[in-house]
A and B are shown apart, each in its own frame.
Chain A
Protein backbone atom coordinates (compact mmCIF):
# COMPACT_ATOMS: atom_id res chain seq x y z
CA UNK A 1 0.00 0.00 0.00
CA UNK A 2 1.03 3.56 -0.65
CA UNK A 3 2.87 4.99 2.37
CA UNK A 4 0.76 8.15 2.54
CA UNK A 5 -2.43 6.14 2.58
CA UNK A 6 -0.97 3.71 5.10
CA UNK A 7 -0.12 6.51 7.46
CA UNK A 8 -3.71 7.58 7.83
CA UNK A 9 -5.15 4.10 8.14
CA UNK A 10 -2.66 2.61 10.56
CA UNK A 11 -3.75 4.79 13.45
CA UNK A 12 -7.35 3.59 13.11
CA UNK A 13 -6.09 0.01 12.87
CA UNK A 14 -4.24 0.44 16.16
CA UNK A 15 -7.40 1.83 17.76
CA UNK A 16 -9.41 -1.08 16.37
CA UNK A 17 -6.91 -3.62 17.72
CA UNK A 18 -7.17 -2.06 21.18
CA UNK A 19 -10.97 -1.78 20.93
CA UNK A 20 -11.25 -5.56 20.46
CA UNK A 21 -9.56 -6.20 23.78
CA UNK A 22 -7.08 -4.44 26.00
CA UNK A 23 -3.71 -5.13 24.44
CA UNK A 24 0.03 -4.59 24.80
CA UNK A 25 2.71 -3.44 22.37
CA UNK A 26 3.88 -6.72 20.90
CA UNK A 27 0.34 -8.08 20.56
CA UNK A 28 -0.81 -4.92 18.78
CA UNK A 29 2.08 -5.18 16.33
CA UNK A 30 1.18 -8.79 15.61
CA UNK A 31 -2.54 -8.04 15.22
CA UNK A 32 -2.12 -5.02 12.96
CA UNK A 33 0.68 -6.64 10.93
CA UNK A 34 -1.75 -9.21 9.63
CA UNK A 35 -3.26 -6.41 7.56
CA UNK A 36 -0.64 -3.69 7.28
CA UNK A 37 3.04 -4.24 7.82
CA UNK A 38 3.87 -2.48 11.06
CA UNK A 39 6.93 -2.27 13.24
CA UNK A 40 7.44 -1.19 16.83
CA UNK A 41 8.99 2.02 15.63
CA UNK A 42 5.82 2.91 13.76
CA UNK A 43 3.62 1.87 16.62
CA UNK A 44 5.38 3.63 19.46
CA UNK A 45 4.78 7.25 18.36
CA UNK A 46 1.19 6.41 17.43
CA UNK A 47 0.51 4.99 20.89
CA UNK A 48 2.13 8.03 22.48
CA UNK A 49 0.00 10.36 20.41
CA UNK A 50 -3.23 8.47 21.06
CA UNK A 51 -2.50 8.40 24.76
CA UNK A 52 -1.71 12.12 24.85
CA UNK A 53 -4.97 12.83 23.01
CA UNK A 54 -6.89 10.71 25.53
CA UNK A 55 -8.05 8.21 22.92
CA UNK A 56 -6.52 5.37 24.89
CA UNK A 57 -5.43 4.91 28.48
CA UNK A 58 -2.75 2.68 29.95
CA UNK A 59 -2.26 0.44 32.94
CA UNK A 60 0.45 -2.00 33.95
CA UNK A 61 0.06 -5.70 34.66
CA UNK A 62 2.69 -7.89 36.18
CA UNK A 63 3.83 -10.60 33.78
CA UNK A 64 6.75 -12.98 34.30
CA UNK A 65 8.19 -10.80 37.04
CA UNK A 66 8.11 -7.60 35.00
CA UNK A 67 5.53 -4.96 34.19
CA UNK A 68 3.74 -5.05 30.89
CA UNK A 69 1.93 -1.96 29.70
CA UNK A 70 -1.63 -2.51 28.53
CA UNK A 71 -3.63 -0.09 26.44
CA UNK A 72 -7.35 0.42 26.88
CA UNK A 73 -9.69 2.17 24.45
CA UNK A 74 -11.50 5.33 25.60
CA UNK A 75 -14.75 6.93 24.44
CA UNK A 76 -12.96 9.42 22.21
CA UNK A 77 -11.00 6.52 20.68
CA UNK A 78 -14.19 4.75 19.75
CA UNK A 79 -15.50 8.04 18.33
CA UNK A 80 -12.42 8.21 16.17
CA UNK A 81 -13.04 4.74 14.78
CA UNK A 82 -16.69 5.67 14.06
CA UNK A 83 -15.55 8.81 12.32
CA UNK A 84 -13.36 6.72 10.05
CA UNK A 85 -16.16 4.25 9.35
CA UNK A 86 -18.56 7.07 8.56
CA UNK A 87 -16.14 8.53 6.08
CA UNK A 88 -16.18 5.29 4.11
CA UNK A 89 -19.00 6.21 1.66
CA UNK A 90 -17.09 9.37 0.89
CA UNK A 91 -13.90 7.41 0.31
CA UNK A 92 -15.79 5.06 -1.94
CA UNK A 93 -17.08 7.96 -4.02
CA UNK A 94 -13.53 9.22 -4.41
CA UNK A 95 -12.44 5.74 -5.38
CA UNK A 96 -15.13 5.60 -8.06
CA UNK A 97 -14.11 8.99 -9.37
CA UNK A 98 -10.51 7.84 -9.63
CA UNK A 99 -11.47 4.62 -11.34
CA UNK A 100 -13.72 6.29 -13.88
CA UNK A 101 -10.97 8.76 -14.65
CA UNK A 102 -8.61 5.88 -15.29
CA UNK A 103 -10.97 4.03 -17.63
CA UNK A 104 -12.47 7.02 -19.38
Chain B
Protein backbone atom coordinates (compact mmCIF):
# COMPACT_ATOMS: atom_id res chain seq x y z
CA UNK B 1 0.00 0.00 0.00
CA UNK B 2 1.24 3.50 -0.73
CA UNK B 3 1.46 6.21 1.90
CA UNK B 4 -1.35 8.31 0.43
CA UNK B 5 -3.64 5.31 0.31
CA UNK B 6 -2.82 4.38 3.90
CA UNK B 7 -3.52 7.91 5.18
CA UNK B 8 -6.70 8.15 3.14
CA UNK B 9 -8.00 4.89 4.61
CA UNK B 10 -7.01 5.99 8.10
CA UNK B 11 -8.89 9.26 7.62
CA UNK B 12 -11.96 7.32 6.52
CA UNK B 13 -11.90 5.05 9.55
CA UNK B 14 -11.36 7.97 11.93
CA UNK B 15 -14.39 9.93 10.84
CA UNK B 16 -15.99 9.32 14.21
CA UNK B 17 -13.34 11.39 15.96
CA UNK B 18 -13.34 15.19 16.23
CA UNK B 19 -11.57 16.84 13.31
CA UNK B 20 -8.54 18.02 15.32
CA UNK B 21 -7.93 14.51 16.59
CA UNK B 22 -8.24 13.02 13.12
CA UNK B 23 -5.70 15.52 11.89
CA UNK B 24 -3.20 14.89 14.67
CA UNK B 25 -3.45 11.12 14.20
CA UNK B 26 -2.85 11.44 10.49
CA UNK B 27 0.09 13.79 11.08
CA UNK B 28 1.55 11.29 13.53
CA UNK B 29 1.36 8.32 11.16
CA UNK B 30 2.51 10.41 8.23
CA UNK B 31 5.61 11.30 10.25
CA UNK B 32 6.19 7.64 11.20
CA UNK B 33 6.17 6.61 7.53
CA UNK B 34 8.47 9.48 6.53
CA UNK B 35 10.91 8.61 9.31
CA UNK B 36 10.97 4.95 8.26
CA UNK B 37 11.68 5.95 4.69
CA UNK B 38 14.52 8.19 5.94
CA UNK B 39 15.76 5.15 7.83
CA UNK B 40 16.13 3.26 4.55
CA UNK B 41 12.79 1.50 4.10
CA UNK B 42 10.87 1.73 0.87
CA UNK B 43 7.48 3.41 0.98
CA UNK B 44 5.69 0.07 0.72
CA UNK B 45 7.79 -1.51 3.47
CA UNK B 46 7.24 1.47 5.74
CA UNK B 47 3.48 1.22 5.37
CA UNK B 48 3.54 -2.56 5.70
CA UNK B 49 5.40 -2.34 9.01
CA UNK B 50 2.53 -0.38 10.54
CA UNK B 51 -0.78 -1.83 11.56
CA UNK B 52 -3.72 -1.74 9.21
CA UNK B 53 -5.58 1.61 9.32
CA UNK B 54 -8.72 -0.16 10.47
CA UNK B 55 -6.95 -1.71 13.47
CA UNK B 56 -5.34 1.59 14.38
CA UNK B 57 -8.70 3.34 14.27
CA UNK B 58 -10.46 0.55 16.19
CA UNK B 59 -7.83 0.75 18.89
CA UNK B 60 -8.10 4.54 19.20
CA UNK B 61 -11.87 4.45 19.28
CA UNK B 62 -11.94 1.79 21.98
CA UNK B 63 -9.43 3.75 24.07
CA UNK B 64 -11.74 6.71 23.96
CA UNK B 65 -14.44 4.50 25.45
CA UNK B 66 -12.15 3.46 28.27
CA UNK B 67 -11.29 7.02 29.10
CA UNK B 68 -14.94 7.81 29.62
CA UNK B 69 -15.00 10.58 27.08
CA UNK B 70 -17.63 11.70 24.76
CA UNK B 71 -17.32 9.33 21.87
CA UNK B 72 -19.16 8.19 18.85
CA UNK B 73 -20.69 4.84 18.09
CA UNK B 74 -20.61 3.55 14.61
CA UNK B 75 -23.98 2.25 13.57
CA UNK B 76 -24.41 0.24 10.49
CA UNK B 77 -27.55 1.29 8.73
CA UNK B 78 -29.44 -1.44 6.98
CA UNK B 79 -28.86 -1.24 3.28
CA UNK B 80 -31.78 0.53 1.70
CA UNK B 81 -33.43 -2.23 -0.24
CA UNK B 82 -34.87 -1.19 -3.54
CA UNK B 83 -36.84 -4.37 -3.96
CA UNK B 84 -36.89 -8.02 -3.17
CA UNK B 85 -34.65 -10.51 -4.89
CA UNK B 86 -37.65 -12.10 -6.55
CA UNK B 87 -38.53 -8.80 -8.18
CA UNK B 88 -34.95 -8.42 -9.36
CA UNK B 89 -35.06 -11.83 -11.00
CA UNK B 90 -38.33 -11.02 -12.74
CA UNK B 91 -36.90 -7.77 -14.06
CA UNK B 92 -33.77 -9.55 -15.23
CA UNK B 93 -35.80 -12.21 -17.05
CA UNK B 94 -38.08 -9.64 -18.65
CA UNK B 95 -35.20 -7.54 -19.90
CA UNK B 96 -33.06 -10.46 -21.00
CA UNK B 97 -33.68 -9.64 -24.66
CA UNK B 98 -31.68 -6.45 -24.04
CA UNK B 99 -28.84 -7.53 -21.82
CA UNK B 100 -28.13 -11.03 -23.17
CA UNK B 101 -27.17 -9.73 -26.65
CA UNK B 102 -25.07 -6.97 -25.06
CA UNK B 103 -23.35 -9.48 -22.83
CA UNK B 104 -22.76 -11.83 -25.74
CA UNK B 105 -21.43 -8.95 -27.81
CA UNK B 106 -18.96 -7.87 -25.14
CA UNK B 107 -17.95 -11.45 -24.51
CA UNK B 108 -17.37 -12.19 -28.19
CA UNK B 109 -15.38 -8.97 -28.54
CA UNK B 110 -13.08 -10.10 -25.76
CA UNK B 111 -12.78 -13.60 -27.19
CA UNK B 112 -12.14 -12.08 -30.62
CA UNK B 113 -9.36 -9.87 -29.35
CA UNK B 114 -7.69 -12.76 -27.57
CA UNK B 115 -8.06 -15.10 -30.54
CA UNK B 116 -6.50 -12.58 -32.93
CA UNK B 117 -3.64 -11.95 -30.49
CA UNK B 118 -3.14 -15.71 -30.25
CA UNK B 119 -3.23 -16.00 -34.05
CA UNK B 120 -0.58 -13.30 -34.45
CA UNK B 121 1.60 -14.88 -31.77
CA UNK B 122 1.32 -18.37 -33.26
CA UNK B 123 1.64 -17.01 -36.81
CA UNK B 124 4.85 -15.16 -35.99
CA UNK B 125 6.14 -18.29 -34.29
CA UNK B 126 5.32 -20.41 -37.35
CA UNK B 127 6.98 -17.87 -39.66
CA UNK B 128 10.04 -17.93 -37.44
CA UNK B 129 10.16 -21.71 -37.62
CA UNK B 130 9.72 -21.68 -41.41
CA UNK B 131 12.55 -19.16 -41.75
CA UNK B 132 14.83 -21.33 -39.64
CA UNK B 133 14.03 -24.35 -41.84
CA UNK B 134 14.64 -22.22 -44.95
CA UNK B 135 17.99 -21.08 -43.54
CA UNK B 136 19.05 -24.64 -42.73
CA UNK B 137 18.00 -25.74 -46.23
CA UNK B 138 20.09 -22.94 -47.77
CA UNK B 139 23.09 -24.12 -45.73
CA UNK B 140 22.54 -27.73 -46.82
CA UNK B 141 22.43 -26.64 -50.45
CA UNK B 142 25.52 -24.46 -49.97
CA UNK B 143 27.75 -27.26 -48.65
CA UNK B 144 28.26 -29.31 -51.87
CA UNK B 145 28.44 -26.11 -53.93
CA UNK B 146 31.70 -25.06 -52.26
CA UNK B 147 33.82 -27.16 -54.64
CA UNK B 148 32.06 -26.40 -57.89
CA UNK B 149 31.17 -22.73 -57.51
CA UNK B 150 32.31 -21.02 -54.26
CA UNK B 151 30.55 -17.81 -55.22
CA UNK B 152 27.15 -19.52 -55.32
CA UNK B 153 27.93 -21.23 -52.02
CA UNK B 154 28.76 -17.92 -50.34
CA UNK B 155 25.61 -16.30 -51.63
CA UNK B 156 23.62 -19.24 -50.24
CA UNK B 157 25.27 -18.78 -46.86
CA UNK B 158 24.42 -15.11 -47.04
CA UNK B 159 20.83 -16.04 -47.77
CA UNK B 160 20.83 -18.46 -44.83
CA UNK B 161 22.12 -15.77 -42.46
CA UNK B 162 19.47 -13.36 -43.70
CA UNK B 163 16.79 -15.97 -43.10
CA UNK B 164 18.09 -16.65 -39.59
CA UNK B 165 18.01 -12.92 -38.85
CA UNK B 166 14.41 -12.69 -39.98
CA UNK B 167 13.60 -15.79 -37.94
CA UNK B 168 14.95 -14.12 -34.79
CA UNK B 169 12.97 -11.01 -35.58
CA UNK B 170 9.74 -12.97 -36.04
CA UNK B 171 10.38 -14.90 -32.85
CA UNK B 172 10.94 -11.69 -30.88
CA UNK B 173 7.66 -10.27 -32.18
CA UNK B 174 5.88 -13.42 -31.06
CA UNK B 175 7.62 -13.42 -27.68
CA UNK B 176 6.97 -9.80 -26.81
CA UNK B 177 3.38 -9.94 -27.99
CA UNK B 178 2.79 -12.95 -25.75
CA UNK B 179 4.40 -11.15 -22.84
CA UNK B 180 2.36 -8.03 -23.51
CA UNK B 181 -0.85 -10.07 -23.61
CA UNK B 182 -0.16 -11.63 -20.22
CA UNK B 183 0.86 -8.28 -18.74
CA UNK B 184 -2.20 -6.46 -20.10
CA UNK B 185 -4.57 -9.20 -18.93
CA UNK B 186 -3.11 -9.09 -15.45
CA UNK B 187 -3.37 -5.29 -15.34
CA UNK B 188 -6.96 -5.27 -16.48
CA UNK B 189 -8.06 -7.99 -14.05
CA UNK B 190 -6.32 -6.28 -11.13
CA UNK B 191 -7.77 -2.86 -11.88
CA UNK B 192 -11.26 -4.32 -12.19
CA UNK B 193 -10.81 -6.09 -8.85
CA UNK B 194 -9.58 -2.86 -7.27
CA UNK B 195 -12.52 -0.96 -8.63
CA UNK B 196 -15.00 -3.35 -7.05
CA UNK B 197 -13.09 -3.43 -3.79
CA UNK B 198 -13.10 0.35 -3.58
CA UNK B 199 -16.77 0.49 -4.41
CA UNK B 200 -17.56 -2.03 -1.71
CA UNK B 201 -15.54 -0.09 0.87
CA UNK B 202 -17.24 3.13 -0.12
CA UNK B 203 -20.66 1.56 0.11
CA UNK B 204 -19.86 0.17 3.51
CA UNK B 205 -18.60 3.49 4.87
CA UNK B 206 -21.70 5.22 3.51
CA UNK B 207 -23.81 2.81 5.47
CA UNK B 208 -22.17 3.73 8.72
CA UNK B 209 -23.31 6.74 10.67
CA UNK B 210 -21.97 8.02 13.94
CA UNK B 211 -23.92 8.82 17.02
CA UNK B 212 -22.53 10.89 19.83
CA UNK B 213 -22.78 9.03 23.14
CA UNK B 214 -21.65 9.76 26.65
CA UNK B 215 -20.85 6.87 28.98
CA UNK B 216 -20.00 6.71 32.64
CA UNK B 217 -17.21 4.84 34.40
CA UNK B 218 -19.01 1.55 34.25
CA UNK B 219 -19.48 1.68 30.56
CA UNK B 220 -23.16 2.52 30.84
CA UNK B 221 -24.67 5.07 28.59
Q: Which A residues fall within an 8 A CB radius of B?
A: 24-27, 29, 39-41, 44-45, 48, 64, 66-69
Is A64 touching B38 in the complex (CB atoms < 8 A)? Answer: yes
On chain B, the residues within 8 Å of A67 by CB distance are 31
- 28-64 of chain B: CB within 8 A of chain A: 28-29, 31-32, 34-36, 38-39, 50-51, 55-56, 59-60, 63
Interface size on B, as a range, is 10 to 19
On chain A, the residues within 8 Å of B60 by CB distance are 44-45
Extra contacts, 6 of them, besides A26-B31, A40-B32, A41-B59 (Cβ < 8 A), are A41-B51, A44-B25, A44-B60, A45-B59, A45-B60, A66-B31
| A-B CB pair tally, cutoff 8 Å | 43
Is A41 touching B34 in the complex (CB atoms < 8 A)? Answer: no
The residue of chain B having its C-beta at the shortest distance from the C-beta of A65 within the complex is B34
Is A45 touching B31 in the complex (CB atoms < 8 A)? Answer: no
The B interface is mostly helix, strand or loop, or mixed, namely helix
Q: Cβ of B27 < 8 Å from any Cβ of A?
A: yes
Is A39 touching B25 in the complex (CB atoms < 8 A)? Answer: no
Contacts A40-B50, A44-B25, A64-B38 hold; do A25 and B31 have CB atoms under 8 A apart? yes
Is A25 touching B35 in the complex (CB atoms < 8 A)? Answer: yes
On chain B, the residues within 8 Å of A26 by CB distance are 31-32, 35-36, 39
On chain B, the residues within 8 Å of A44 by CB distance are 25, 28-29, 60
Interface string of B7-22 (1 = CB under 8 A from A): 0000000000000000
